[in-house]
Structure 1
């Protein structure tokens, strides 16, 4: 069955980026000149997703405005002949996006469960906004190709340092063929030193609709929240759930320093910014800001 729908959870409070996120959604913080969530939406669209539902919360109206049509802005750009900018904003407005509000911040699992009526009885994708993944073949498209092979849920994973496994959901693999793993167990944020592997779940999921049966239990897990990983572990006991070690560079934009690194790297990849930024970085390197 073709996967046509995707959920993007965007209801978090963004406390790591306070005070900036007091009035601005974390998902709207820009990487150079594009909000983070636009990279996530683009990956979904480039992978062949037709319908996207963004799960929002209080104070997230800016996300809806960003992907909406802005008549006044577009007419202003036309009058000034700024057609290059017009093309850029069209990329973020010509996407069919739906919205639902998560009324309580009960965790990722609850956010996914909130979109169950939109998904219905068909497989679907989940893309988390804290992970931007760059690759010629989009990460989600890679997972969709594996889904076509196994016709079961497929979770995106990458290797992380063992010292960081406690920050992630981690898999315990049974078998592996061409980076596709059959999984024995899924463990959410194992205590340091107890992880069954260094293969961490990285913000991309293809799930069968049976996952909603387990999310409906509203079981409280790590951090006092309803965890998606816990529901996946239960799903794996009744139907196989696979993990795929995808190709691509992952940028973690959920932490301040990683966000800064991502912004610098993305700017260096731009022809219009690279030389100026390189000169500036060399200049900074020659100064001592530790005084």
Structure 2
């Protein structure tokens, strides 16, 4: 596949319809994607990563009670007027501004799995390749995870997923790839994918490379998802649909050069908050001193 024949990735799907039950009661009235990591909601980090990678259109697959996510990226006239009248800079709000027409929402009325959530965006995706961001997976790196993936995609095309290497005893908690060869010219970060296995037994896992919440897929995956075939847990699984595309289109994994925080768990959420606060120039030293005081108390 030549670079001239590779369509650019302009659209991204953010499945944000989940109930966030692991964070109750905090998420009873607030979407889990709006919980703050330091001073930005979790969804903002994913959107910033998408924009860095050149994504133009953001597609939120939402459910009941998720309006706060959309409102976060809307213009807050009263807030901006008040801040301006008090001579406060609006720079802090700049990341929340979305170009008119570039934010689309579609509804997932019934929670039937990740594959179903992605399928709900099929009319907006059309015949274009698209990215997927799972906001629970906070990926921190320079450049960001999706930008690393787009750079690889522009060379090889097809379908790509981000992966991370984990200790083998942890593989049974994740989707795992069956690796093939490593194309030249990518410093070993690109791996051909010959199969996908969801939560394998440790002794049966084909590798210790886990799928880590970022995808670039071709629109043909929607045709596979049209069948509404249910997999693990009685849900429509994206992993199953991707597995059926292996062998019909190029399929690669990009090993992310950066840090992943599992913000779908309480411990991972706290770890991310502490790590990002420590990395901040405006508060890092104070946070470090505070942590030491708490540890020594």
Q: Output the CA distance in 2 between the equivalents of 1:201 and 1:226.
A: 17
- Is 1:277 the equivalent of 2:287? yes
RMSD of equivalent CA atoms: 1.2
2:81 aligns with one of 75, 78, 98: 75
1:256 aligns with one of 261, 266, 282: 266
Q: Output the CA distance in 2 between the equivalents of 1:224 and 1:160.
A: 27
Runs of 5+ in structure 2 lacking a partner?
1-6
* Corresponding residue number in structure 1 for 2:4: none
* Corresponding residue number in structure 2 for 1:168: 174
Offset at residue 35 of structure 1 (A): 0.2
* Corresponding residue number in structure 2 for 1:185: 195
Partner SS, residue 203 of structure 1: strand
* Corresponding residue number in structure 1 for 2:116: 110
* Corresponding residue number in structure 2 for 1:247: 257
* Corresponding residue number in structure 2 for 1:219: 229
Q: Output the CA distance in 2 between the equivalents of 1:169 and 1:31.
A: 26
- Is 1:59 the equivalent of 2:65? yes
Offset at residue 192 of structure 1 (A): 4.1
1:24 aligns with one of 30, 41, 49: 30
* Corresponding residue number in structure 1 for 2:46: 40
Contact 1:100-1:115 within 8 A present in 2 as well:
yes
Q: Deviations over 1:200-245 (max 9, x none)?
A: 0111101011111111111111222111111000011422311111
Q: Output the CA distance in 2 between the equivalents of 1:5 and 1:77.
A: 33
- Which sits farther off after the overlay, 164-173 or 88-97? 88-97
Q: Output the CA distance in 1 between the equivalents of 2:214 and 2:21.
A: 22
TM-score by length of 2: 0.93
Q: Output the CA distance in 2 between the equivalents of 1:271 and 1:146.
A: 32
2:19 aligns with one of 9, 13, 16: 13
1:233 aligns with one of 233, 243, 255: 243
Partner SS, residue 149 of structure 1: helix
TM-score by length of 1: 0.95
Contact 2:157-2:250 within 8 A present in 1 as well:
no
The runs of 4+ residues in structure 1 deviating greater than 6 Å are none
Partner SS, residue 21 of structure 1: coil
Q: Output the CA distance in 2 between the equivalents of 1:255 and 1:65.
A: 25
Q: Output the CA distance in 1 between the equivalents of 2:96 and 2:203.
A: 43
Give the length in aligned residue pairs.
285
- Which sits farther off after the overlay, 142-151 or 48-57? 142-151
Partner SS, residue 242 of structure 1: strand
1:148 aligns with one of 143, 154, 164: 154
Partner SS, residue 179 of structure 2: strand
Q: Output the CA distance in 1 between the equivalents of 2:107 and 2:201.
A: 32
